[in-house]
Chains A and B, each alone.
Chain A
Amino acid sequence: DTGVSQDPRHKITKRGQNVTFRCDPISEHNRLYWYRQTLGQGPEFLTYFQNEAQLEKSRLLSDRFSAERPKGSFSTLEIQRTEQGDSAMYLCASSKFRLATGPPEYGYTFGSGTRLTVV
């Protein structure tokens, strides 16, 4: 296992178009997180999954954003009707928990991210 993979690395899209990003976490990790990071800021929480269940979605996230994790493996993040304000780095991270509801043993492993530019 080579870590968390994200695809594509870069995406340029026109305003109003839909985009979809993919994340492949570390296989033995049972939690997967999506974050968004803009220049000069820390990563901002978007949503997370435990196995295939989406357990929380940030209130800051508009209805244009949707995420899935079918079969508890890879995850996709879709943004519909993109706006210029959606331009950011979208980071995926995975983590392993000792128990189903316990804190992680270690930190998150982040992917290299998908940089979205909406023009």
Chain B
Amino acid sequence: GQQVMQIPQYQHVQEGEDFTTYCNSSTTLSNIQWYKQRPGGHPVFLIQLVKSGEVKKQKRLTFQFGEAKKNSSLHITATQTTDVGTYFCAGMSMDSSYKLIFGSGTRLLVRP
């Protein structure tokens, strides 16, 4: 079945440093979504990428979708303590279910 892999598992950075997490799918995706989960919270939708090669920005966050629609990345510039949490990519299947298959997440810790 479809699998979504995400690396790294953990990233501990000094406040102000950049952060990147990478996501790879075993199959071509319809689209990819990114979610953030704060400690003790639930996943919160950040963004959706649909087109091959698409790049979207949200303030200090930059999201990319690969040309083959099988990989994606999230880059945070100049991390802040409010960025702490686990970032999940979730690939949407090409079949009619359009269900999301989540990666295992990258947990970001930021030292003040």
Interface of A toward B, CB cutoff 8 Å: 31, 33, 35, 40-45, 48, 55-56, 59, 91, 97, 101-104, 106-113
Contact = CB atoms under 8 A, between A and B. Distances in A.
Nearest to B4: A42
B48 A107 contact: yes
Interface stretch (B53-61, B67-75, B76-84, B98-106): B98-106
Interface residues of B, number: 29
Contact of B105 (A42, A55, A97): A42
A103 B104 contact: no
B92 interface: yes
Interface of B: 1, 4, 6, 30-31, 33, 35, 41-48, 50, 88, 90, 92, 96-105
Contacts of B98: 31, 97, 102-104
Contacts of B35: 107
